[in-house]
Amino acid sequence: MRIVSLIATLLLVSAVHAQEICDNGIDDDGNGLIDLNDTQACPCTLLPPQANLISNGSFEEHTCCPGDPSQMQGNFIDCANDWTDYQISASADYYNPCGFNPPMIPQPVPDGEAVAGIVVHTWPGGASYEFLTQCLATPLIAGQTYELGFNLAAVRMQFGFVGTLPINFGPIQMALFGLDTCPPLPYTMYDPVWGSPMPAQYCPTELGLTELATVTYNPSNAWQNITLTFDAPFNVGAIMFGPACPIPQDYNMWGSSEPYFFIDDMSLTNVDVAITSTGHPCTNNLVLTASPFDDPPNSYQWYLDGVAIVGETGAVLNASALGLGAGTYTVRVIQADGSCIMTQQEFTAEYPVPLATAT
């Protein structure tokens, strides 16, 4: 009996004095808190949100309300403060409940009420490019790492904004382009013979801009939050956002309809470490990437809701492939000097309001 009591006492003492191991998914010290949730045993500095270098990224601030394009009224992006078209013949669009706000916009809108929109399509022998363009109040600094975040939703829009058809176009590369200075915008190019504006069929690289980064977008009627990171190759004074060049051939016009993207909640921040993502738990294709990734000298660990995803220490976390769903994902970085920093990204399971479709 004494031996049993002694063993029980030793086990109790061992449990009391056990130390929390912060990356094994186990409550080692028995206090009910696992890994990062045990903030006393596993202290780490959560990096604060960085300042958004994009002005009016949710398009809420405006100088005019959009009109109904089916009534020959303008709904162009220059109604939104600090935004403009990339070329005089382009026509990126602006939507706000204070004016024209068609029911085909997926609800709820990610941030506020207003959104922007662009046509993305090809035609025989060319393409129609529309880009959101902005001169930055604070330029990007060469060599520093930045994260671009935005929300996208897609429709096949019938001409005149009268309805939508099923999406029948595939993945596309979305791109951020940059220029060292702020040029006169929009670009003005005229036909040398007829004097009329040249069509908006020029890739930004043909206008002197540099492609800074791309990310794959899988079109869906539901809003998707997408992020990407990149190192600025030079001091960047102006940016353009839209499709990479060239546009895929399945982005064509047919049946009086065309591929169309809605855009909202844009941000551009300077980062120490960031989580970028593609896909979503609801579409079972969520992939997360930590960037910049420097191993060695740093070491990394992924977490879901504060609990370590054991063995996941690389730059990429294939969350859906591992059977993981919604929640708060964290990447922890133990730096070369022993200090700990971490950043988080939350994914929620939201289901879109059904869209009205053409009959």
Residue 26 lies in a domain: no
The pLDDT value recorded for residue 354 is 56
The verdict on 286 and 306 lying in the same domain is yes
Instruction: Give burial (CB, 10 Å; 0-12/13-18/19+) of 317.
Output: buried
For position 311, which CATH number holds?
A: 2.60.40
pLDDT in tens, 284-342: 999 999 988 888 889 999 999 999 999 999 999 999 999 999 999 999 999 888 989 99
The verdict on 294 and 146 lying in the same domain is no
The verdict on 329 and 346 lying in the same domain is yes
pLDDT in tens, 76-113: 898 999 999 877 777 899 999 998 888 899 999 999 99
Q: Tokens 């060239």 map to which residue?
A: 246
For position 267, which CATH number holds?
A: 2.60.120.260
Domain tally, the chain? 2
Please give the DSSP secondary-structure letter assigned to residue 160: T
Cβ(152)–Cβ(128) under 8 Å? no
Cβ(31)–Cβ(38) under 8 Å? yes
- Helix (H/G/I), strand (E/B), else coil: 342: strand
Strands (E), 108-199: 115-119, 121-123, 126-128, 132-140, 145-158, 164-165, 172-179
Residue 10 lies in a domain: no
The verdict on 289 and 257 lying in the same domain is no
The verdict on 167 and 291 lying in the same domain is no
Cβ(204)–Cβ(244) under 8 Å? no
148 bridge partner residues = 228, 268
Residue that finishes a domain, picked among 236, 271, 306 = 271
Residue 295 lies in a domain: yes
Residue 6 lies in a domain: no
Residue that finishes a domain, picked among 271, 291, 306 = 271
The verdict on 232 and 285 lying in the same domain is no
Residue 40 lies in a domain: no
The pLDDT value recorded for residue 205 is 93
Residue 14 — pLDDT band, cuts 50, 70, 90? very low
The verdict on 125 and 219 lying in the same domain is yes
pTM over 0.85: no
Return d(Cα 183, Cα 176) in angstroms, integer.
16
Return d(Cα 114, Cα 58) in angstroms, integer.
7
290 bridge partner residues = 275
The verdict on 287 and 240 lying in the same domain is no
The backbone torsions φ and ψ at residue 353, rounded to the nearest 5 degrees and listed phi first, read -70, 130
Question: Taking CA 214 as the corner, what is the angle to CA 114 and CA 171, rounded to the nearest 5 degrees?
Answer: 80
CA distances from 353 to 104, 107, 137, 151, 283 (A): 10, 6, 36, 16, 16
Residue 312 lies in a domain: yes
Return d(Cα 180, Cα 184) in angstroms, integer.
13
Encoded tokens for 246: 């060239």
Residue 7 lies in a domain: no
Return d(Cα 228, Cα 213) in angstroms, integer.
7
- CA 59 to chain centroid, in Å, comes to 16
- Helix (H/G/I), strand (E/B), else coil: 146: strand
Q: Tokens 């004494």 map to which residue?
A: 2
Domain span at 303? 275-350
Radius of gyration of the CA atoms of the chain, in A: 25
Cβ(139)–Cβ(236) under 8 Å? yes
- Helix (H/G/I), strand (E/B), else coil: 147: strand
The verdict on 133 and 55 lying in the same domain is yes
> How many residues belong to the chain?
359
Residue that finishes a domain, picked among 251, 271, 291 = 271
The verdict on 156 and 264 lying in the same domain is yes
Mean pLDDT for the stretch of residues 272-277: 84
Residue 304 lies in a domain: yes
Element (H, E) at 17: helix 2-17
Cβ(114)–Cβ(66) under 8 Å? no
Cβ(229)–Cβ(292) under 8 Å? yes
The pLDDT value recorded for residue 10 is 44
The verdict on 211 and 242 lying in the same domain is yes
The verdict on 260 and 309 lying in the same domain is no
pLDDT in tens, 167-219: 999 999 999 999 999 988 777 777 677 777 777 788 899 889 999 999 999 99
- Helix (H/G/I), strand (E/B), else coil: 30: coil
Q: Tokens 């060049």 map to which residue?
A: 245
Cβ(104)–Cβ(157) under 8 Å? yes
